[in-house]
């Protein structure tokens, strides 16, 4: 279980370090469940960037080589007419770790891409380089027991 709260302000359109007058408080409560075999399900409930309220269900699989493939569906109370239709926001994403394919290191640890049917404002979370769960999930007992041989190598 986790939680997140962010106060954000939109940058000025001319991008000269200024801000527009609009600010937003956004955040969610998240429930995580690891099913084994690299499967992870996440349910998030909270407030999105456009000020709408809703929930996201996410399911992903992490393969042995570190690649993560997942899909999500987001339902919110955002206006369907304003945001391109009343259908839920849904899509797929792929994250590829660079350390497995590029041995020289670098500032980026992975490359991610997202495939969705429509770009919309409703149901959008703040995009961050890393979420707290990503940093601490490797410290739980099941994962340490599973990966113990790799830790010792």
User: Is the alpha carbon torsion for 48, 124, 83, 75 positive or negative?
Assistant: negative
Q: Provide the percentage of residues in the chain whose pLDDT is more than 90.
A: 26
φ and ψ at residue 134, rounded to 5 degrees = -60, -35
Count of beta carbons in the 10 Å neighbourhood of residue 138: 10
pLDDT tens profile 4-45 = 888 887 777 776 777 777 788 889 999 999 898 999 999 999
Q: What is the residue range of 135's domain?
A: 2-152
Residue 118: pLDDT band (50, 70, 90) is: low
Average pLDDT over residues 54-82: 87
Query: What's the confidence (pLDDT) of residue 133?
Result: 74
Q: Which of 134, 152, 126, 141 is nearest to 66 (CA)?
A: 134
Quote the mean pLDDT of the chain: 80
Domain count, the chain: 1
């Amino acid at each position: 279980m986790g939680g997140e709260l962010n106060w954000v302000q939109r940058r000025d359109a001319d991008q000269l370090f200024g801000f527009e007058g609009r600010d937003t408080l956004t955040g969610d409560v998240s429930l995580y469940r690891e099913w084994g075999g690299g499967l992870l399900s996440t349910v998030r409930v909270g407030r999105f960037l456009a000020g709408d309220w809703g929930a996201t269900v996410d399911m992903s699989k992490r393969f042995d080589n570190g690649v993560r493939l997942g899909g999500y569906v987001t339902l919110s109370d955002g206006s369907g007419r304003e945001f391109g239709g009343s259908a839920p926001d849904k899509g797929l994403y792929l994250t590829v770790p660079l350390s497995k394919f590029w041995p020289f290191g670098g500032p980026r640890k992975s490359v991610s891409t997202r495939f969705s049917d429509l770009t919309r404002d409703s149901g959008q979370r703040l995009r961050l380089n890393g979420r707290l769960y990503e940093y601490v999930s490797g410290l739980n007992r099941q994962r340490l027991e599973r990966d113990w041989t790799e830790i010792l190598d």
